[in-house]
Structure 1
Amino acid sequence: MALNLVCNNEQDEMEITEALTGLLEKLLQIAGAQEGVEHGEVALTFVDDEEIHRLNNEFRNIDRPTDVLSFPMFEKDEDEPRINYDDLEEVENEDGTAPDDFTEEEPLGDIVISIPRAVAQSEEYGHSVERELGFLFIHGFLHLIGYDHESDDEEREMFAKQESILQEAGLTR
């Protein structure tokens, strides 16, 4: 099995190049290695502000656009540890073969990023759009695998992990 990224583009504000998707794939591999997530599939969709506003309102009851949304395939209860992806079993037919609709990659979840928000935030923070997209993508990925930032300690831990991954990929401020 492998850790795979599937990108979808549903916006017209910015061209999504192979170089950008390659960078995000590299970030996914670094994050996966640091977190011990060796297999799975992450679906990433780039949208405009109108669509992320709609999703934010529909799924979080927050009536405004945001920069990134994450939709984990597996929900974590407060008392459960982060998901141990080594414990996931492969699906097999009775004869030991894979079902026709089976893909090797267990879906980890979906990440949705607003390109207009990412562009505006990169300008506000004075770094590249690539770094901002990388930051938002890794932020979303960490949410998919069970991290959160509800408390100050959780926020420090999550943001330190994000910076470590970005640094390893050479995406400095």
Structure 2
Amino acid sequence: MPVLVSNLQGKVAVDEALTGLLTRAAQEVLKAEGYGEEAEVSLVFVDDAYIHGLNRQYRGVDAPTDVLSFAMQEGEPLAGGEEELILGDVVISLQAAERQAGEYGHSLQREAAYLAVHGVLHLLGYDHQGEEERKIMRRKEEEVLGRLNLTR
């Protein structure tokens, strides 16, 4: 389960511990959803200005956000297969993660891991537009974070 990590920002310190945690978070989602070693995702760390531009360009929202997912395939959750399966990119604003961690009273690590899990679930087709969808997605997020010992 390759997780490719790119740090395109310099405003929030990124060390091996954070990179390792977010890699494990992404892998835990994939394992929980039945994906094998063929599944690949990318995590891209950016700042607020960068994600603002992406949000404006791809969603028509002229504001920064905390996480965006760019799936290689759209629609229903994907089924794992035997060949290499590139699922897509999860773009995380570490500035937003740091700010939200302070607002919610937990660590940057916990917030960034939550955003990674949330983003990977979006790559797999999960959403939170309706109340039932939101409950399903939130339960899956909390299960994965619990396995990483990152509870609220």
Q: Distance in 2 between matches of 1:106 and 1:31?
A: 15
Q: Tell me the residue number matched to 1:84.
A: 79
Q: Tell me the residue number matched to 2:10.
A: 12
Q: Distance in 1 between matches of 2:89 and 2:73?
A: 11
What 5-or-longer segments of structure 2 have no aligned partner? Answer: none
The two structures, once aligned, show a CA RMSD in angstroms of: 1.1
Q: Distance in 2 between matches of 1:28 and 1:63?
A: 28
Contact 2:3 2:27 in 1 (8 A): no
Kindly report structure 1 stretches of 4+ aligned residues shifted beyond 6 Å. none
1:37 Cα deviation from its structure 2 partner: 1.4
TM-score (norm 1): 0.84
The alignment-based identity, stated in percent, is 46
* Structure 2 counterparts to residues 109-120 of structure 1, below 5 A: 109-120=88-99
Contact 2:46 2:91 in 1 (8 A): yes
* Structure 2 counterparts to residues 25-36 of structure 1, below 5 A: 25-36=23-34
Q: Distance in 2 between matches of 1:29 and 1:56?
A: 25
* Structure 2 counterparts to residues 33-44 of structure 1, below 5 A: 33-38=31-36, 39-44=38-43
Tell me the amino acid that sits aligned with residue 83 of structure 1. Answer: L
Q: Tell me the residue number matched to 1:69.
A: 68
1:135 maps to 2:114? yes
Q: Distance in 2 between matches of 1:37 and 1:54?
A: 32
What 5-or-longer segments of structure 1 have no aligned partner? Answer: 91-104
Aligned residues: 151
1:149 Cα deviation from its structure 2 partner: 0.7
1:28 Cα deviation from its structure 2 partner: 2.0
Q: Distance in 2 between matches of 1:69 and 1:128?
A: 21
TM-score (norm 2): 0.95
